[in-house]
Chains A and B, each alone.
Chain A
Amino acid sequence: MKLIKFFLLLLIVFLLSSTKIFSDENKILVDKISKNLRCLICQGQSVYDSQSEFAISMKLLIKEKLDKGNTEKEIYNFLKNQYGDWIVYDPKFDKKTMLLWGFPLILFIFGGILIFRKVFIY
């Protein structure tokens, strides 16, 4: 028990001490948005992670748009119009992606029914 208490204390002290300074609201938003964008010229990297020229100019573009007062959603929509759905890592729910979002959930429900039948009915 002592060990647990010690560890908890350590954890809390650490969490308290590691305050993140939110100096620039927009910078955080740029990071957040660019993490959700695919770097189109890279192999499986996000814009945030990449240092390619495409990614760097993309980050600048996002920053400009934010400074102009565009919202996050508007920026995604703008980029989707420019580059297609390929650029965002978060596929929207529509006719095309119904199965993508639905399949695991349907499977989960189906599995649940199977288990329920096995355990409670018979």
Chain B
Amino acid sequence: MIFNNIGYYSLVFGLFISIYLLFFSFFLYIKGKSNNDLNLNIYHFSLIQLFLVILSFICLILCFILSDFSNETVYYNSHTTKPIFYKIAGAWGNHEGSLLLWLLVLTLFIFLFIIKSKSQPKKYRLLSIFFQQIIITGFFLFLLITSNPFDYLFPTPKEGLGLNPILQDPALVIHPPILYLGYVGSSIIFSSSLAALIENNLGTIWAKHIKNWVFVSWIFLTLGILLGSIWAYYELGWGGFWFWDPVENVSLMPWFSLTALLHTILVLEKRQLLKLWTIVLSISTFSLSMSGTFLVRSGILNSVHTFASDPERGVFILIFLFLLIFLAIFIFFFFSKNIEQVKGRNFYWLSKDFSILINNWFMMYFLSVVLIGTVYPIFLEVITSDKISIGPPFYNKLLIPFLIPFLIIMSFGPKLKWIKDRFEMLKLYKILFFFISLIISIFIYEKLGKNNLLISILILAGIYLFLISLIDFFKSKNNLSQNISHFGFSLLILSIILNSFFSSEFSSNMKIGDQIEFENKIIKFSKIESKKGSNYNSIVANFTIEDKNKRVTNFFPEIRIYNQPNIMTSEADIKTSIFYDKFFVVNLLKNETYFNVRYQVKSFMVWIWISTLLIALGGFIGLVKKIR
């Protein structure tokens, strides 16, 4: 009760401070004194604002820990029997709480930005703060008007409704915060690039300064997507890790845009070119992050994530988003005239700058494929009321042919010199690697059958990049960060392909005592046991799989029946090894004597995770190198 009030009023005061900072920073900007120190009030008030939001967030967590059901959010999303870990995590496992988390990250980042941008011109900093406070004010209003996490419920219920069991999971506890760090980081890039555009400050110094923020958001966005994917893999019970589900796409789109920005900013830093394109990418990354939130929260999308949706809130975000984009476009057209454009032929076709242009070209293409695949069905339904589904076949057809040249260019682009490189004879090892890749891909082509020519060529390109970046890793250590990320990317593509082609699956209905043969193995359903968790009862099925060498593996997949809300979930038993995962899951059938049994051997599964981690690790190394 008391925490409820503290939390609520912290937010209200936070809003006031936000409005104050909004006007104050603008006022200081207009007044424009040239001394290079920021008014101390800005530091202090930002710190207080951050403190208030943290306080409010802690209050919400306390409400959850204490199971204070007079708080509506707690009532809808918690239950007294829930483990303490998930009570805490439940604070952001719902719409209101997750938005409060957004706000927390927003205020944290603006404070860090103020501290970290001391070397930058004062007017630019004031303007960045101004834009960032517009976003923050918008989020405060959104939170307080449409999704107050501290709504009061009377009479106080004795028991809550509980958290959706599929969200009671360690990966899902950290997935939203990590992803939000990525999304919100893009808001700093957005505000700062608009400010830099107005101040005509787009040069090497600015690029160096904003690059850190680009790296931070990019790392977190990558990790956030990875965590979501891992969660889908083991929790949703069908052994897939990516389904081109709209909500997955929505996190991938800003990633493409941000990855393009990550490369473009290097050109800006080294050569002071592509100034306006940098701004366009900053705006698009942030808009895509925001519309991602909009699409997920509005319930327009048909997806596994629609547990948290409400159309009215969607309208608010949509209007807010339009205002921000409109503002950005207006500023862009009004001030872009001031930016000096270097005339003439600035790019030589054999140079690092040019290969970065190519990277941007492909990134924009990938982005457009995912974008249209995600929104097209929505628009088509609104306009013609025809419903179509867009799934993996569509993306495979449009992405795979383009990935081939992309991977090839990735393998030599980074090694070219800036501005202009000379064409050298191909080194022997490159030719050798090409032939090794060719032989392996021909071998795989033979194995896959005649319908998979394109995939085999993709494998060729993937292996080539893999070998080249591996040898670079040992040969030169001057660009470790780029090297590791590109290596990770080639490994990711290869793992995904091998995973989809060399996985096998067994699925059948079995009852206790049954024994079935599958690929020289015997699957035996020996018994079931019941187990009790703190907020669920579970049935643990015992299976043994005996292979032809008489080696026996035990599997204990579970079916959990949560008491509040009353939902059944399947917990897969996954045995991970270097080359394959064994994935075992059972489902209860209606007549209850039979269980639906699903056993999958998924090749190279763990490499999909490792390679994505490598991609992020590359970014991390780059960031640390820059800060040091």
Contacts and interface: CB of A to CB of B under 8 A. Distances in A.
A53 B361 contact: no
A75 to B, nearest CB: 15
B306 interface: yes
Nearest to A106: B368
Contact of B354 (A91, A101, A119, A122): A119
A91 B345 contact: no
Interface of A is mostly: helix
A42 to B, nearest CB: 9
B8 to A, nearest CB: 33
A4 B393 contact: no
B587 A51 contact: yes
B447 A15 contact: yes
Contacts of A86: 387-389
Interface in A30-87: 31, 35-36, 38, 43-46, 49-51, 53, 56, 84-87
B479 to A, nearest CB: 20
A48 to B, nearest CB: 8
Interface string B207-240: 0000000000000000000000000000001111
A119 B349 contact: yes
Nearest to B391: A89
A91 B245 contact: no
Nearest to B354: A119
B348 interface: yes
Interface in B444-502: 444, 447, 467, 470-471, 474, 502
Interface string A1-44: 10110001001101100101100000000010001101000011
Contact of A20 (B349, B372, B443, B504): B504
Contacts of B424: none
B375 to A, nearest CB: 10
A46 B391 contact: yes
Contacts of B398: 101, 104-105
Contacts of B304: 43-45
Contact of B376 (A100, A105, A108): A100
A97 to B, nearest CB: 7
Contacts of A20: 502, 504
A89 B394 contact: yes
Contact of A111 (B365, B471, B598): B365
A110 to B, nearest CB: 10
Q: Could you tell me the dominant secondary structure of chain B's interface residues?
A: mixed
A114 to B, nearest CB: 8
B428 to A, nearest CB: 12
Contacts of B361: 108, 111-112, 115
A43 B302 CA distance: 6
Interface string B378-418: 00100010111111111000100010000000000000000
Q: How big is chain B's contact interface, by range?
A: 35 or more
B171 interface: no
A4 B609 CA distance: 21
Contact of A38 (B347, B389, B579): B389
A96 B380 contact: yes
Contacts of B467: 4
Contacts of B384: 96
Given A112-B361, A118-B357, A85 B347 contact: no
A96 B389 contact: no
B596 interface: yes
A64 to B, nearest CB: 17
A51 to B, nearest CB: 5
Interface of A: 1, 3-4, 8, 11-12, 14-15, 18, 20-21, 31, 35-36, 38, 43-46, 49-51, 53, 56, 84-91, 96-97, 99-101, 103-105, 107-108, 111-112, 115, 118-120, 122
Given A43-B302, A89-B392, 7 more contacts: A44-B245, A46-B243, A89-B391, A97-B380, A107-B365, A115-B361, A122-B345
25 contacts: A3-B470, A3-B474, A11-B440, A15-B444, A15-B447, A36-B392, A43-B306, A45-B243, A49-B240, A50-B238, A51-B596, A86-B387, A86-B388, A89-B391, A96-B380, A99-B376, A100-B373, A101-B398, A108-B365, A108-B368, A111-B365, A112-B361, A119-B354, A119-B357, A122-B343
Q: Which 9 A-B pairs have the closest CB atoms?
A: A89-B391, A90-B393, A49-B238, A86-B387, A104-B368, A104-B369, A44-B303, A51-B587, A108-B365
